A and B are shown apart, each in its own frame.
Chain A
Amino acid sequence: MHHPMLKITLAFAGGIWLNNLLPLPIGLWMVCFLGTGLCFILMKRSRPCWLIAMLITSGACLHAMHTRPVHPADVRHLDLGEGWYVTVEGVLTETPRQKTSRINGQETHSNLATLHLTQLAHATDLIPATGQIRVRTSGMLPASFYKGIPVRITGVLTPPARPIAGGLFDYRTYLEQQGIHHILYADSTNAWTIQMTEQDLPKRPWTDQFRIWAMNVLSHGLPEMDEATQLRGAMVLGLKSWLNEDMIEPFRWSGSMHLFAISGLHVAMVTGLLLAGMQWVIRSRWHAGTWTLVAMWCYVAITGWQTSAIRAGIMTSVMLSGWILKKPYTLLNSLFTAAWFVLIWQPTQLFQIGFQLSFGVVLGLATTSEPIRQFLSKRLESDPWILKERLSAPQRCRNWCARKLAAALSVSMAAWIGSLPIIWQQFHLVTPVGLAGNILMVPLAGATITCAMGSLACATWAPWLTELFNHSGWFWMECMMRMGQWMSSLPLSHFHVSPLPASVLWYYYAFLVLIAMGCQKHIWRRRAVYGCGALTLLLVLTHIELSWRKQEISLLPIEDGDAIWMNQAGELHDSLIDGGSGRTVLRTLIPFLESRGVNRLNDLWISHGDADHIGGYEDLVHRYPPQRIVSFKDGYRSPYYKSLLATAETNGWKMELIGEGISIGQMKILHPPIGSGFRRADDTNLVGLVQWGDCQILFAGDLSRDGVIALSNRHPNLHADILVINRPKEDISPNYYWMDSLGPHLILVTGIAPDRRDRWIGQLKKHPFQSNPIIWDTGTRKMIRLEFAKGVVRVIPTEGEPVVIHPAAAAPGRERTRDYGLLGSTISNL
Chain B
Amino acid sequence: MLVLDLGWIKVFYYQDREESELVSRILHLKNLTDTCRTWIEAPLRLIFPDVCQVCMDAAASAGEGYVCERCVGSLRRIQSPFCRRCGLPFDGEISSGFECPNCHGVRFFFESAKSSVVANTLMLDLLHRFKYQGCLWLEPLFERLFLEMLSNDHMRQNWDCVLPVPLHSVRQRERGYNQSALLAEKVASGLDLPFYGKVLKRIAPTPSQTMLNRSERAENVANAFCVTGDKAVTSKCVLLIDDVLTTGATTNACAKVLLKAGVRVVSVRTLARGLGI
Contacts and interface: CB of A to CB of B under 8 A. Distances in A.
B134 A333 contact: no
B154 interface: no
A326 B210 CA distance: 27
B96 to A, nearest CB: 34
B47 A333 contact: yes
B136 A5 contact: no
Contacts of B62: 326-327
Nearest to B56: A2
B46 A8 contact: yes
A389 B213 CA distance: 9
Interface in B50-68: 51, 53, 56-57, 62, 66
A306 B48 CA distance: 26
Interface in A308-358: 318, 321-323, 325-330, 333-334, 337
A279 B176 contact: yes
Given A2-B56, A279-B176, A327-B62, A337 B47 contact: yes
Interface in A515-562: 518
Interface in A272-294: 279-280, 285
Which of the listed residues A328, A333, A388 has the most CB atoms from chain B within 10 Å of its own CB? Answer: A328
B183 to A, nearest CB: 14
A329 B47 contact: yes
Contact of B48 (A279, A280, A328): A328
B173 A279 contact: yes
A323 B134 contact: yes
Contacts of B137: 322, 326-328
B45 A4 contact: yes
A5 B48 contact: no
Contact of A333 (B49, B177, B210): B49
* Residues of A in contact with B, size category: 20 to 34
A78 interface: no
Given A2-B56, A388-B211, A389-B211, A325 B48 contact: yes
A326 B173 contact: no
B173 A5 contact: no
Contacts of B48: 322, 325, 327-329
A319 B173 CA distance: 20
Which label, helix, strand, loop or mixed, suits the secondary structure of the A interface?
A: helix
A97 interface: no
A172 interface: no
A628 interface: no
Given A1-B49, A8-B46, A518-B56, A328 B66 contact: yes
Contact of B49 (A4, A279, A323, A326): A4
Contacts of A328: 48, 53, 66, 135, 137
B143 interface: no
B176 A4 contact: no
Contacts of A321: 47
B139 interface: yes
Contact of A2 (B49, B134, B139): B49
A334 B47 contact: yes
A64 to B, nearest CB: 25
A277 to B, nearest CB: 12
**Most chain A CB within a 10 A radius of its CB, from B48, B53, B210:** B48
B44 interface: yes
Contacts of B66: 327-328
Interface string B51-90: 1010011000010001000000000000000000000000
Nearest first, the 8 closest Cβ-Cβ pairs linking A and B are A327-B48, A326-B136, A326-B137, A4-B46, A328-B53, A2-B51, A328-B137, A328-B66
Given A322-B137, A327-B44, 7 more contacts: A1-B49, A285-B176, A322-B48, A328-B66, A330-B51, A334-B47, A388-B210
14 contacts: A1-B51, A4-B46, A280-B173, A323-B136, A326-B136, A327-B44, A328-B135, A329-B47, A329-B48, A330-B49, A333-B47, A333-B49, A334-B47, A337-B46
Interface of A: 1-5, 8, 279-280, 285, 318, 321-323, 325-330, 333-334, 337, 388-389, 518
